[in-house]
Amino acid sequence: MLEDAQTVLVIDDHPLMRKGISQLIALERSLRVVGEAGDGQRGLELVRRLHPDLVLLDLNMRGMSGLELLGLLKAEEHDARVIVLTVSDHEDDVVAALRAGADGYLLKDMEPEDVLNGLRAAAQGRMALGERVAEILADALRHEIQPRPADGAKLTEREREILARIAVGHSNKLIARELKITEGTVKVHVKHLLRKLDLGSRVEAAIWAVKNGFRP
């Protein structure tokens, strides 16, 4: 096991699923499970205590739902990247999770290797989306955000650089590393560019950026 392996916390209310996920992750040398939780409250406690790099989160759990926990984790500004792993491919769930700040959305009926590929992507600071989920997201948002070329003129050069990286799913941490600035500075720029473009989330910003030709 590599000392620099990315740490993973698994949160799912089905013991068999937690065990299966943990066994799957054990096959990947770059990842290491550091804890498991069977409900949202316990998951929140473990995130606060263990500070994992990745959180693999089920949506539909008894008590605190995965979406509620996701909102709390983002509100508390934990560094962990949160990847939803669920049975639901319903458009409303996909959009709600990504708008709440999820760093990926994977389906439990995916091939094991595809799940691992998603986790590898997340560990590298990229958005982890299954192929079917990407199609669902594109269909859901295609007509919500119309291209507005003039809006791009409001952005500073730095904001444009950051927006281009958001478009390809880069995390704040990865953007900071690439641009040689602090993660806090990236967060400030993201907040400013969302306000200037009148957008509500990184997901909307990514869709807008792709439609308007922003690329790193």
Work out the end-to-end distance of the chain between its first and last CA atoms, rounded to an integer number of angstroms: 34
Residue 12 · residue 39 · CB < 8 Å? no
| Furthest CA-CA distance within the chain | 52
Instruction: Dump pLDDT digits (tens) for 3-40.
Output: 578 999 999 999 999 999 999 999 999 999 999 999 99
φ and ψ at residue 79, rounded to 5 degrees: -75, -15
What's the mean pLDDT when you consider all of the chain?
87
Task: State the pLDDT at residue 151.
Answer: 60
Do residue 163 and residue 120 come from a single domain?
A: no
Q: Same structural domain for residues 79 and 168?
A: no
Amino acid of residue 152: G
- The strand order across the sheet containing 6-11 reads 31-37, 6-11, 54-57, 81-86, 104-107, 128-129
Contact indicator for 134, 168 with CB cutoff of 8 Å? no
Count of domains observed in the chain: 2
Q: Do 38 and 77 fall within a single domain?
A: yes
pTM to 2 decimal places: 0.72
CATH number assigned to the domain comprising residue 38: 3.40.50.2300
Same domain, residue pair 119 and 94:
yes
Percent of the chain at pLDDT above 90?
51
> Rounded to an integer, what distance in angstroms lies between the CA atom of residue 121 and that of residue 128?
6
| Tokens read off for 121 | 């992507």
Examine residue 216 and state whether it is found in any structural domain, yes or no.
no
Q: Is the pLDDT of residue 112 over 90?
A: yes
CATH code at 184? 1.10.10.10
Q: Determine the residue type at 155.
A: L
Mean pLDDT, range 97-106, rounded to an integer: 88
Beta-carbon neighbour count of residue 111 at 10 Å?
A: 9
